[in-house]
Amino acid sequence: MEIVKDIVERAGGGVAATPAPGGANMIDPFGRAITYLRISVTDRCDFRCVYCMAEDMTFLPKRDLLTLEELDRLSTAFIDKGVRKLRLTGGEPLVRRNIMHLIRSLSRHLETGALEELTITTNGSQLERFASELADCGVKRINVSLDTLDPDKFKAITRWGDFAKVMAGIKAAQAAGIRVKLNAVALKGFNDDEIPAMLEWAHGEGMDLTLIETMPLGEIDGDRTDQYLPLSAVRARLSERFTLTDIPYKTGGPARYVEVAETGGRLGFITPLTHNFCESCNRVRLTCTGTLYMCLGQEDAADLRGPLRASEGNELLSNAIDEAIGRKPKGHDFIIDRETRRPAVSRHMSVTGG
């Protein structure tokens, strides 16, 4: 509790963030309002998913990380500037030491109404332990990444993961009243045949399922061309068996949803490669060292740690954020093909957060 008090005090004595007048006030050069911040609170993880990380990863030295207090101050500055949705991700957010203290502290912005949603993307390994506390902090829905329902395949894809633990985590989250959405990366030759079964299972358990195309981020041990499965092909195959109807449902993210008549559930497609989703981008991403990436698929970034640490007031920080938003690019240039074998950007997904 001491840390929570400390964070709250440093962040302004528990005083709520002032809601941005009239909604968003960070507008990028293409007229897009930036209302969504994703924070990678750690680059570390207790899994080593083959499409995300090499097995032998070098992580940032702990001394380079922003403290939880600094992450809180930065988040609050963004909320003051119009962010309405905050997602903690990673690496695995729930392996960051004392992460619940940060989540507890940030939940004050939900209470004041300054923030509409506080959520996480997790691999589920630690969920059993944290589910009820997350619910208590006002976390209403979370994303859990799960690429297969087969424990052996799960072990193969995550290298270090324990399927039973993730299942227990999902159950614990649901028991705590948190809505769970499953995210699965579609991988050629790995889970393409399983997608119908995953869909039926997820919907049967009251969960939406979103499929993601693998993105060329960071060097991994394998070849991404071998893994890449265009979701246009997956959708076409699913349509032979299920009735898919486009629906306007939105969660603030890039997924496009269909309703599946046979299951009554929702299926989302995140298609950075087959369908460019940049035109409606409303988000920016912050790393655990205070680097702000204005686009997941571009190298350009802004350092916020310097201005954050340079003064106790937020003026320098606020100016640095404005300057960064002012150069948010129009979109990414992801390509996965046999000629383009290098990743589009050198950092891994675990650095910027998925």
Q: Which is nearer to ligand SAM, 82 or 91 (CB)?
A: 91
With CB under 6 A as the contact rule, the residue among 185, 284, 294, 302 that binds ligand SAM is 185
Other C-beta atoms within 10 Å of 38: how many? 22
User: Look-up: residue for tokens 């500055």?
Assistant: 77
351 forms part of the interface with ligand SAM (CB under 6 A): no
Cα distance between residue 259 and residue 246, in whole Å: 6
Cα distance between residue 173 and residue 248, in whole Å: 27
With CB under 6 A as the contact rule, the residue among 41, 52, 173, 324 that binds ligand SF4 is 52
Cα distance between residue 244 and residue 266, in whole Å: 9
Q: What are the distances in angstroms from CA 197 to CA 20, 129, 209, 281?
A: 44, 28, 11, 31
Site string for ligand SF4, 310-329 (x = CB under 6 A): --------------------
Cα distance between residue 178 and residue 163, in whole Å: 20
With CB under 6 A as the contact rule, the residue among 92, 128, 208, 213 that binds ligand SF4 is 92
| 143: β partners | 121, 181
Cα distance between residue 139 and residue 107, in whole Å: 8
Cα distance between residue 215 and residue 228, in whole Å: 8
Reported as half-sphere exposure (CB side, CA atoms, 13 A), residue 5 has a value of 2
Site string for ligand SF4, 125-164 (x = CB under 6 A): --------------------x-------------------
Sites for ligand SF4 among residues 5-34 (CB under 6 A): none
Shortest spacing between CB 92 and ligand SF4, in angstroms? 5
208 forms part of the interface with ligand SAM (CB under 6 A): no
> Out of ligand SAM, ligand SF4, none, which partner does residue 48 contact, by CB within 5 to 8 A per kind?
ligand SF4
121 forms part of the interface with ligand SAM (CB under 6 A): yes
Cβ neighbours for 119, distance < 8 A, ≥ 6 positions apart: 85, 86, 87, 88, 139, 140, 141, 142, 143
11 forms part of the interface with ligand SAM (CB under 6 A): no
> Out of ligand SAM, ligand SF4, none, which partner does residue 297 contact, by CB within 5 to 8 A per kind?
none
Binding site for ligand SAM (CB under 6 A): 45, 51-52, 89-90, 92, 121-123, 145, 183, 185, 212, 214-215, 217, 349-350, 353-354
Binding site for ligand SF4 (CB under 6 A): 45, 47-49, 52-53, 90-92, 123, 145, 350
